[in-house]
């Protein structure tokens, strides 16, 4: 925890003098980190290449050649006209590589940014409200003085929570009903036990009595919900799932134009939909590390004096979280965000490599490698350039992250 922004955040968090010094100090430290500076230059060059792709690329990355002698145009080894050769459809590898950097970098940066954003919000919520359960459900027949005193927003939430609660009960009752139907009971095993109509009737009765009791109690109940427990359990749950297969399946589901979701994606984002889909998918598992990090930082930050001072002044929870605490947790967030860019690029490349990411003819470094593997034995020039670009990009990002960690952590001396 740096001292300076903490002081700045206490009252005059906009004070430029206090916060600028910290960042300038970090920048000076970063400049001494040679590998990080080299990485910064490499990354800038890569970004420039992506931005100016139409200017730099010698050929159209998608157009296939036409002409009498097509055979000679496919699988050309590197030459003066095609510096990196041509691929299985006669397209220029260099141009595809340059255009591919657009998608790969865009996906990497946007996915990392969104992951860090989602992770920060989740982690901040979990850390700040840990051990301070929020009013979640107040039954319709509870006289809740505190809630009555407040206006609209709380009433709306109260009604929404009734809908959620009774909706869930309805769903449970319906599932119990469907499951107890004879054909299902028979299918559950077909043995004497499960085939027993009495047993299935008992099961149904128990389920419905449970629902009825919950519905009755719900009229006068109040629950509080600890958001930290909810978010931490969600993280535990996400970590249980086998991530790569889940990502493959999700990508297939979201991309299906016959289904409602896929259709909507195509209608809304057009050709960019596969980029949007892959970013959404990457964020699904990408926010977790940031959330854990921010949660841990918040657990200690919220006990410090400047937080109490802000609370005493009547600052709202949202303002305390995002104006006072988040700036103090910024150093680890920045480092994590940098590393996430590398992870996102790697995962995107893996998904595209397996054919579940960005779809051809749009090129990315990952899907260029899919073809490269097929033809590795007689066109090895297809595999090396996209692979090396992935390695160089991710390496630069990791070195930069390492440099930033040294620069932003006051305890580290390099």
Work out how close the CB of 182 gets to other proteins at its nearest, in angstroms, rounded to a whole number: 13
Work out how close the CB of 390 gets to other proteins at its nearest, in angstroms, rounded to a whole number: 6
Nearer to other proteins, 209 or 241 (CB): 241
Nearer to other proteins, 156 or 184 (CB): 184
Nearer to other proteins, 22 or 30 (CB): 30
Token pair for residue 245? 């297969």
Contact 345, 393 (CB under 8 A): yes
Q: Which of 189, 217, 219, 222 binds other proteins (CB under 8 A)?
A: 189
Q: Which of 16, 131, 152, 245 binds other proteins (CB under 8 A)?
A: 245
Site for other proteins in 214-243 (CB under 8 A): 236-237, 239-243
Site for other proteins in 54-113 (CB under 8 A): none
> Under 8 Å CB-to-CB from 15, ≥6 apart: which residues?
8
Give the alpha-carbon dihedral of 399, 401, 407, 413, to 10 degrees.
-60
Q: Is 413 in the site for other proteins (CB under 8 A)?
A: no
Nearer to other proteins, 150 or 174 (CB): 174
Work out how close the CB of 327 gets to other proteins at its nearest, in angstroms, rounded to a whole number: 27
In angstroms, the CA 179 to CA 173 distance is: 10
Own/partner long-range contacts of 59-65 (Cβ < 8 Å, ≥24 apart): 59/91, 59/92, 59/94, 59/95, 60/92, 60/95, 61/91, 61/92, 61/95, 61/96, 61/98, 61/99, 61/100, 61/363, 62/91, 62/361, 62/362, 62/363, 63/91, 64/89, 64/90, 64/91, 65/90, 65/91
In angstroms, the CA 231 to CA 123 distance is: 8
Work out how close the CB of 316 gets to other proteins at its nearest, in angstroms, rounded to a whole number: 34
Q: Is 192 in the site for other proteins (CB under 8 A)?
A: no
Per DSSP, 380 falls in state G
Q: Is 354 in the site for other proteins (CB under 8 A)?
A: yes
Work out how close the CB of 12 gets to other proteins at its nearest, in angstroms, rounded to a whole number: 37
Nearer to other proteins, 327 or 337 (CB): 337
Work out how close the CB of 137 gets to other proteins at its nearest, in angstroms, rounded to a whole number: 20
Nearer to other proteins, 116 or 397 (CB): 397
Q: Is 16 in the site for other proteins (CB under 8 A)?
A: no
Largest Cα–Cα distance of the chain, in whole Å? 85
In angstroms, the CA 374 to CA 76 distance is: 16
Buried b (16+ CB within 10 A) or exposed e, 297-311: bbbebbebebbeebe
Nearer to other proteins, 244 or 334 (CB): 244
The site that binds other proteins (CB under 8 A) totals a number of residues, namely: 51
Report whether the peptide linkage leading into residue 141 is cis, meaning its omega lies within 30 degrees of zero: no
Where along the sequence are the contacts to other proteins (CB under 8 A)? Answer: 175, 178-179, 184, 187-189, 194, 236-237, 239-246, 248-250, 252-253, 255-256, 258-259, 262, 342, 346, 349-350, 353-354, 369, 372-373, 376-377, 380, 383-384, 387, 390-391, 394-395, 397-399, 402
């Amino acid at each position: 925890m740096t001292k300076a922004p903490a002081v700045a955040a206490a009252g005059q968090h906009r004070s430029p003098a206090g916060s600028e010094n910290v960042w300038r100090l970090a920048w000076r430290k970063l400049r001494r980190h040679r590998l990080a500076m080299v990485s910064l230059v490499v990354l800038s060059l890569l970004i420039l290449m992506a931005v100016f792709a139409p200017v730099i690329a010698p050929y159209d990355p998608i157009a296939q050649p036409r002409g009498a002698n097509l055979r000679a145009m496919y699988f050309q080894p590197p030459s003066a006209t095609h510096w990196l050769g041509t691929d299985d459809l006669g397209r220029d590898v260099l141009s595809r590589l340059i255009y591919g950097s657009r998608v790969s970098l865009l996906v990497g940066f946007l996915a990392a940014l969104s992951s860090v954003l989602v992770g920060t919000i989740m982690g901040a919520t979990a850390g700040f409200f840990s051990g301070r359960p929020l009013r979640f459900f107040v039954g319709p027949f509870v006289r809740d003085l505190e809630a009555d005193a407040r206006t609209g927003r709380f009433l709306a939430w109260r009604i929404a929570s009734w809908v959620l609660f009774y909706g869930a009960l309805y769903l449970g009752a319906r599932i119990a009903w469907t499951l107890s139907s004879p054909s299902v009971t028979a299918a559950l095993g077909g043995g004497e036990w499960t085939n027993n109509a009495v047993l299935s009737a008992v099961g149904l009765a128990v389920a419905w009595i449970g629902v009825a009791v919950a519905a009755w109690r719900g009229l006068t109940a109040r629950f509080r919900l600890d958001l930290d427990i909810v978010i931490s359990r969600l993280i535990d749950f996400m970590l249980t799932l086998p991530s790569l297969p889940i990502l493959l399946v999700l990508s297939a589901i979201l991309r299906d134009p016959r289904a409602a979701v896929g259709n909507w994606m195509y209608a809304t984002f057009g050709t960019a939909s596969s980029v949007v889909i892959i970013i959404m998918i990457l964020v699904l598992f990408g926010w977790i590390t940031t959330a854990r990090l921010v949660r841990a930082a918040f657990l200690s930050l919220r006990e410090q004096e400047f937080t109490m001072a802000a609370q005493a002044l009547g600052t709202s929870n949202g303002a305390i979280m995002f104006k006072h605490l988040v700036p103090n947790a910024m150093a680890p967030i920045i480092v994590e965000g940098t590393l996430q860019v590398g992870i996102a690029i790697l995962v995107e490349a893996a998904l595209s490599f397996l054919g579940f990411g960005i779809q051809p003819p749009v090129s990315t470094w990952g899907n260029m490698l899919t073809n490269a593997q097929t033809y590795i034995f007689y066109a090895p020039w297809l595999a090396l350039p996209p692979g090396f670009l992935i390695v160089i990009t991710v390496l630069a990002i990791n070195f930069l992250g390492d440099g930033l960690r040294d620069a932003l952590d006051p305890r580290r001396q390099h």
